[in-house]
Amino acid sequence: MAEPSNLLEIWPSLLEVRNVQPLPNGGYLYDWTYKMAGMRFEGQAEWAEFVKDRLIVDKNESGIPSMFVWTYRPEDGGTCYGDSGGPHFLGDSNKIVSLTVTGDAWCRATDVT
């Protein structure tokens, strides 16, 4: 989700994203229109936190006050905090050859054994 206008592709009740303005943190400020139970809501959202390809915190203070936290992980995974001590097996065998020693909060780290 490189910019707010892409939300229209994944959010069925979101009708419009407009007035998209870039922010110094790399995120965006934008206005939106949403329809729920036949009622239209207008609001403004700000990407309060933004880490490219990892995290978006979308904060809405008007319309429907809310906050959405979007986290992204690679398709093939990675290691996360908490994976430390997990086994690495030799091929398809049950033989443990090493252990995971690090990861990151977004589960994108290259495994270190």
Q: What DSSP assignment string belongs to 37-54?
A: TTEEEEEEEEEEEEETTT
59 close to 67: Cβ distance less than 8 angstroms: yes
Domain ranges in the chain are 4-71, 74-113
pLDDT on residue 112: 60
Quote the CA–CA distance of 18 and 66 in Å, as a whole number: 18
Mean pLDDT of the chain: 82
44 close to 60: Cβ distance less than 8 angstroms: yes
pTM for the whole structure: 0.64
Question: Does the pLDDT value for residue 81 go beyond 70?
Answer: no
Question: Does the pLDDT value for residue 70 go beyond 70?
Answer: yes
- Grade residue 108 by pLDDT with cuts at 50, 70 and 90: low
pLDDT in tens, 9-46: 888 899 999 999 999 988 999 999 999 899 999 999 99
- Grade residue 52 by pLDDT with cuts at 50, 70 and 90: confident
Maximum Cα–Cα distance across the chain: 59
Quote the CA–CA distance of 32 and 92 in Å, as a whole number: 50
Which residues are CB-contacts of 16 (< 8 A; sequence separation ≥ 6)?
Answer: 8, 32, 33
- The residue count for the chain: 113
60 close to 45: Cβ distance less than 8 angstroms: yes
